[in-house]
A and B are shown apart, each in its own frame.
Chain A
Amino acid sequence: MTAPADGAPLVPPAPRTLTPRFVPRVLGEAAAGESFRAISLAQLLKPLWRQRQLRGAAGPAGVLGALGVTWGGGTLLVLLVLDYLHTVDAIGLAIAGRLLAMGLLSISSVLLLSCVVTALPAFFLAKDLELLSAAPVPPRTLFVARALQVLAEGGAVALLLVVPVFAAYGIAFGGGLLWPLVALAVWVPLWLTAMALGCIVVYLLLAFVPAARAQLVFRVGGVTLCVVAIVAMQRLQPAQLTRLGSRAIGEVVKLLDVPLAPWLPTEWAATVLNEWLKGYWAPAPLAWLWLLALGSVAAAYMTFRTLHARGLAAVRSAGRGDHAPSPVGRIAQLVLAPLPPLRREFVLKELRLIGRDAALWSQFLLLVPLVLVYVIGVSVLPTGTGTGALPAIFASILPVVNVGLAGMVLAAVASRLVLPTIAGEGKMWTTLRAAPISTDDIVWAKYLATTGPLLLVALGIVSLTSLLLATAPVITALSLVTVTALLVAQSALALWLGAVNPRFDAESAVNQTVTWQGILFLLAAGVLTMLVALSLAPGMYWYATAVHYKLPFPWWKMLRGPLVGIGGCLLLAPWFLRKARARVAALT
Chain B
Amino acid sequence: MIQLAGATKRYGSFTAVDALDLEVPAGEVFGFLGANGAGKTTTLKMMSGILAPDAGRVTVAGIDMARDPVTAKRHLAFVPDRPYVYDKLTGQEFLRFSASLYGLAWSAVEARATELLELFELVAWQHELVEQYSHGMRQKLLLTASVLHRPKALLVDEPLVGLDPRGARLLKDMLRAYAALGNAVIMSTHTLETVEGTCDRIGIMKRGTLVASGTVPELRRWLRMPDAPLEQIFLHLTGETATRDVAEVLRA
Contact = CB atoms under 8 A, between A and B. Distances in A.
Nearest to B107: A33
Contacts of A15: 166, 169-170
B211 interface: no
A134 B181 contact: no
Interface stretch (B94-102, B198-206, B213-221, B240-248): B94-102
Given A26-B115, A133-B50, A134-B48, A320 B86 contact: no
A317 B15 CA distance: 11
Interface stretch (A34-42, A111-119, A271-279, A536-544): A34-42
A117 B214 CA distance: 48
B131 A505 contact: yes
Interface in A4-22: 15-18, 22
Interface string A480-515: 000000000000000000000000010000000000
B108 A33 contact: yes
Decide if the interface of chain A is mainly helix, strand, loop or mixed. Answer: loop
Interface of B: 9, 11-12, 14, 45, 48-52, 69-74, 76-78, 80, 84, 86-89, 93-94, 97, 100-105, 108-109, 112, 115-116, 118-121, 131, 147, 150, 166, 169-170, 173-174, 177-178, 180-181
Nearest to A32: B108
Given A30-B150, A53-B88, A316-B11, A37 B52 contact: no
Nearest to A52: B88
Given A130-B50, A133-B49, A212 B181 contact: no
4 tightest Cβ-Cβ pairs between the two chains A and B: A317-B11, A36-B103, A136-B73, A134-B78
Interface in A52-100: 53
Interface of A: 15-18, 22-31, 33-40, 43, 46-47, 50-51, 53, 127-128, 130-139, 210-212, 309-310, 312-313, 316-317, 320, 505
Contacts of A26: 112, 115-116, 119, 147
B80 A39 contact: no
A136 B108 CA distance: 18
A27 B76 contact: no
B170 A211 contact: no
Nearest to A51: B88
A309 B67 CA distance: 13
A18 B109 contact: no
Contact of B119 (A22, A38, A133, A309): A22
B181 A28 contact: yes
Contact of A50 (B49, B88, B103, B173): B88
Contacts of B108: 31, 33-34
A136 B86 contact: no
A309 B52 contact: yes
Contact of B51 (A36, A38, A39, A316): A316
Given A27-B181, A29-B150, A127 B84 contact: yes
Given A134-B48, A136-B70, A43 B11 contact: no
B119 A211 contact: no
Nearest to A29: B150
B35 to A, nearest CB: 18
Contact of A317 (B12, B88, B105): B12
Nearest to A213: B12
Nearest to B50: A133
A53 B89 CA distance: 11
Nearest to B86: A47
Given A34-B109, A53-B88, A16 B119 contact: yes
B73 A134 contact: yes
15 contacts: A23-B180, A33-B105, A34-B104, A36-B103, A36-B104, A39-B103, A47-B89, A51-B87, A130-B84, A131-B101, A134-B50, A136-B74, A138-B70, A211-B11, A212-B12
A135 B11 contact: no
B181 A24 contact: yes
A36 B180 CA distance: 24
Given A130-B45, A211-B12, 17 more contacts: A15-B169, A25-B115, A26-B116, A26-B147, A27-B177, A37-B103, A40-B100, A43-B97, A47-B88, A47-B97, A130-B84, A134-B49, A134-B73, A136-B69, A138-B70, A139-B70, A316-B51
